[in-house]
Amino acid sequence: MLGMDITLFPATVLGTVSVPSSKSQTIRALLLSSFSRSHCLIKNPLLSRDTQSCIDVCKALGARLKVSDSLIEVDSADLGKGLEEVTLDCGNSATTMLLATPLVASLGIRATFTGDESLLSRPVGPLLRALSALGAKVEAKDPELPPYTIEGPLKGGKATIFCKTSQYLSGLLMGCPLAQGACILDVPLLYEKPYVRITEDYLKAFGAVYSRQSDLQRFEIPGSQAFKAADIRINGDFSSASFFFCAAAITGSRVTVKGLDSHDPQGDKGILRILTAMGCKVSWKADQVTVSAGPRLLGGTFDLNAMPDTLPALAVTACYASEPVNLINVPQARLKETDRIAVMQKALSSMGASISELNDGLAIRPAGPLSGGRVNSLKDHRIAMAFAIASLRCKTDLTIEDAQVVDITYPSFFKTLESIKEVHNADN
């Protein structure tokens, strides 16, 4: 539940952890399984607040889901049957909302999408305009923000969409195969390309066909397709793992994370390349990766466009670098649960960091250990986890307000972090 504060103390970390499965992959699997109108198995899913929101949406549309710790069984033969109008509460999950909207538009029902206060601030205008161009009816009090109502069917046609979040394109790629006619998507701007490649892997698994340019700027998608049944196993989540990689880097220690796939297209895997450039050693063995800190953390300029969710953790890590660090080309970080660029700048400055906002990122200069004190997560799960990592090297204890927001993607995060803490030590 929200409202829980947690106080953490300086410590070193050393050990091995397992991280949850990928949220991005679990939600794609849930939606495509539900729209396959067949029987599918999702193995090793993430069970969190965001994925529960997606499960609730699928159930509201008529899919039957049987959920256990390690398996979700989906029977969607009756998807949409008897439905004329439905309200879909996506909670805090923008991934659910943006990926589900084009799929629901293909059903020919009237569906209203809504969610919590944070979700209602997430921009949706480019996606809604694209769906309107493809024949769906769209109603919204504010054409840029939820809540909104969409009514299908998707008829097909041509749409141009600028994707400051890749979720716009991923949603369209999932929904357009179910349109009545062929769809052509022109994409002059696309951030976070690795997430689109995850979507492509899942579309292939469910039998969708399309053609595209190699630069992902144009897609041609035949209509009147049907997704086939598929059994999917979800990989470990690099976004969650990134906090433990950074914990090793800032404490001068070593952490191993199990359950990861070195060939996975997840964009946040790129944090390993950045930490290597900052002087850490990264080694793979089967499905586990070990990050070992070097003698000091180096600086540099790092492009986070493909991995925006790593910005909070890397901002904290950069505070302990011996040289300046610039985190750039990630303007979409301002469009997440919070404006993560502004939030991290303000909070880290209050803790003694030398950090300034860029239009598209952050510039951090060496300034010594952070002071500790009290910070507010602003109900952003990645902000809460980033400050948990910051606490390891603070001069004093650090209290994180609304810390339980980590339930959105990583319910056991604090328990896992405590499991590898070695020596509490306020002498930094």
pLDDT on residue 89: 98
Position 50 pLDDT exceeds 60: yes
| CA distance linking residue 231 with residue 73, whole number of Å | 9
User: Taking 50 as the threshold, does the pLDDT of residue 213 lie above it?
Assistant: yes
Residue 118 CA from chain centroid, whole number: 15
Superfamily of structural domain 6-20+236-424: Enolpyruvate transferase domain (3.65.10.10)
Nearest to 81 by CA among 99, 64, 56, 100: 64
pLDDT confidence tier of residue 428, bands split at 50, 70 and 90? very low
231: annotated active-site residue:
no
CATH code, residues 23-233: 3.65.10.10
The pLDDT tens digits for 340-369 are 999 999 999 999 999 999 999 999 999 989
Q: How far apart are CA 102 and CA 31, in angstroms?
A: 11
What is the average pLDDT across 236-250? 97
Q: What is the dihedral of CA 58, 93, 32, 209, to 10 degrees?
A: 150
End-to-end CA distance of the chain: 33
pLDDT of residue 386: 98
d(CA 290, CA 311): 21
Q: Is the pLDDT of residue 104 over 80?
A: yes
Q: Tens digits of per-residue pLDDT, 67-100?
A: 998 999 999 999 999 999 999 999 999 999 999 9
Mean pLDDT of 314-335: 97
Kind and range of the H or E run holding 240: helix 238-251
- The span from the CA of 129 to the CA of 269, in Å, is 32
**Of residues 89, 264, 268, 309, which has the active-site annotation?**
309
Give the residues across from 225 on adjacent strands: none
Percent of the chain at pLDDT above 90? 97
Closest Cα to residue 399, out of 351, 343, 328, 353?
351
Nearest-angstrom CA–CA distance, 15 and 8: 18
Look at residues 183, 40, 24, 145 and name the one whose alpha carbon lies nearest to residue 95. 24
Summarize the chain as % helix, strand, coil (round to 5): 35, 25, 40
What value does the mean pLDDT take over residues 228-240?
Answer: 97
pLDDT over 50 at 424, yes or no = no
Q: What span, in angstroms and rounded, lies between the C-alpha atoms of 175 and 35?
A: 9
| Phi, psi angle pair for 425, to nearest 5° | -155, 110
Q: Quick one: pLDDT at residue 10?
A: 96
Strand, helix or coil at 178?
helix
Query: What is residue 368's predicted lDDT score, i.e. its pLDDT?
Result: 86
**Banded pLDDT at 422 (limits 50, 70, 90):** confident
Residue 427 reports pLDDT greater than 60: no
pLDDT at 70: 94
Q: What is the mean pLDDT of residues 51-73?
A: 97
Give the pLDDT mean for 275-296: 97
Question: pLDDT for 26-36, tens place per residue?
Answer: 999 999 999 99
Contact between 135 and 156 (Cβ < 8 Å): yes
Q: What is the pLDDT of residue 1?
A: 41
Tokens of 342: 């502004």
For the chain, what's the residue count?
428
pLDDT, average across residues 299-322: 97
Q: Exposed, middle or buried by CB within 10 Å (0-12, 13-18, 19+), for 162?
A: middle
Mean pLDDT of the chain: 96
Residue 327 DSSP label: E
Give the percent of the chain with pLDDT over 70: 98
Residue 278 CB partners (closer than 8 Å, separation 6+): 249, 294, 297, 298, 299, 300, 317, 321, 325
Residues 6+ apart with CB under 8 A from 139: 148, 149, 150, 151
Spatial contact of 143 and 128, defined as CB atoms under 8 Å apart: yes
Pairwise CA distance, residues 290 & 281, whole Å:
8
Other C-beta atoms lying within 10 Å of the C-beta of residue 149: 16
Residues 327 and 315 sit within 8 Å (Cβ to Cβ): yes
65 has which bridge partners?
Answer: 74
CATH topology match: 6-20+236-424 vs 23-233: yes
- What does the domain layout of the chain look like in residue ranges? 6-20+236-424, 23-233
